[in-house]
Structure 1
Amino acid sequence: MEKQVKKKKKKRCSKVKKKMISSLLVLFAILLAVPVVSAQTSLNNNVPSSNSDATLTSEEQKKLDERTIILKEYFLNVEMAKAELDKLKEAQSENVGPRASLVEIDKKIEVAALRVEELKEKLPVGLEKIQTAKESGNVSALSSAADYAITEIQIFWDSTQSKYLAHTAGNFTSTNWKKDRETDPYMTGWRDFGGYDGYSVYSLHYNINIYNPNFQTIHHADHTQYTDWTSTASTYPDARGYAWKYQDKGYQNWPIWMTDWADYNNWRQLGWYFFDFVGGKPSGNASFSASFGHTWASTTINSISYPAGFGWSTNSNRWDKGQSKAFTF
């Protein structure tokens, strides 16, 4: 009798062990199937959590996150197409190679320019561009930095989310960023270019609630590669907008005297977010701004706020450039 009881216990223990081992194997397989996403990639789908004083239901946040993925891909595609056009213009300005090659570049520039316009016109369904105010003219510069330009300040109404969307972009207009750090002939890899750089997007007249702020930078060597700073940059939420502080880097090959700087992770910037106005939509015009702060040597950015702007560690080795534009709501 005792032997039979022991045998039954052994069988039960054996079955329990087998179930535990099977469960562990299934769990291990699931973990292996989860993809690892790099911070520097092409069109990844990182979605930031909402960062706003206003609250959303879980269903509203889910819809906003899904929409963010779609719009992130759209804005990056537009900026990458603009980057391709600028790279071709760089090659054209260098004026190197046989005449046949230069004619070919001219044709490619024409095709690339058409592609940029087509992408800009083909807005995602539900996205309606808010018109700029007639009396505001074009864009007003806040400071001067000859090698940089804010290229986009746009406000959209997204009917799929019942929210406004502020989208901005900027980029270096030359390769003079290469002069911001001396190369080291005995080293290779990524090197910091001075201290932190910064980027901000602000509402100039009204307080706003912000949802899903996003920030990416596009590389110079390969304009289809970007760094997503949305979850890794130091962030400065504000009643008037949002700002990001991050470390720009250049990549040097070895030996450097043969290749120069091979890449820069901060050639172009995209800053954007969903928002609504505190107290409801204003009647009339409202202005928005985008600003970029750049440092080199030992200078860095300590803080970013509205209306103070960038807080610098020194009074040298830095510049900033911003633009603003008024919109009729």
Structure 2
Amino acid sequence: MTTRKAYEGSRRKIVIAFDIGTTFSGVSYSVLEPGQVPTIKNVTRFPAQDRASGSYKIPSIIYYDSFGGARVVGAEATRDGIEIEARENGWVKAEWFKLHMSSAQSTIHPLPTGKRAVDVFSDYLRYLYICAAQYICDTHVGGHTLWKSIKGEVDYVLSHPNGWGGREQSMMRQAAFLAGLIVENDLSRLTFVSEGEAGLHFCISSGILKKSDMEDNQGFIVVDAGGGTIDISAYRQKPGDDASIFEEIAPSRCLFQGSVYVNVNAKKFLVDFLRHSRFADDVDHLVNVFDKSAKVRFKTDQDSQYIKFGGVHDNDVSLDIKFGQLKLNGHVVQIMTR
């Protein structure tokens, strides 16, 4: 099922869409040819992400040096040994920075000294733009010629949580200007879309939402459970001859209860739990392992979870640590998810 129509413009152009998330981000684009139905492509290659070839997600992380310069970004900021290199060079990590763009500003993961949320957002947006441009040049036939001919005809789309409004959009517009994507106060080449609406279009274009799902004027709910926010939207197909028109049937919701808050709760628990043990300095590592293992596997409070963080000589029976694995009761993990 698709409602996409042929491009009616008279000149070839390109649209690049950025989905900057709390923990991961992505880029998609479409080359618009007059009279042709557009196809949407994902950028699936980023620096230092060779082992994840074909992945369209990139970590939303930047390391800054002591002068405020961005040193490594995205997948490069998660490669082996980066934490050692950062410590030796005095680099500071910026992550979960998207949460600071909201009026409901988060106090978790403070921004690097001297950096505003819009500065970090801008640096990351510039990086994604460079990656997208390189990908288009490398993957299209005659890509360099194509990009050179239309790079001045680029429109941009930025997605944002349902709860964001004029204040946040103004900051995102400023970030796009600082990143060099648009001229200051340009309202013509930058479009915003809520994550709920973007999710609706994805469900339609990918075939997840079928025609039978919309019979008898019934509504449906789109839930985007992200790293920082959970966005909930309700729609129905608007009665009439045009099947491509949908309407919102309930106020959209934006809850600051995404997956990163589970990690925050886990860290609070582990800091207290291991405070007087020899494993107190391992908390950050434990949280990283928890994020990739126990948090993903958790289903019910009846199942214990294990965090494998050490070796066979790491044992403390009083803490339920055996052979480098910390056992967590299911009800403890359940509390972390609230």
TM range (shorter): under 0.3
Of structures 1 and 2, the one scoring higher in RCO (CA 8 A, sep 6+) is 1
More helix by percentage:
2
More strand by percentage:
1
Higher radius of gyration, 1 or 2: 1
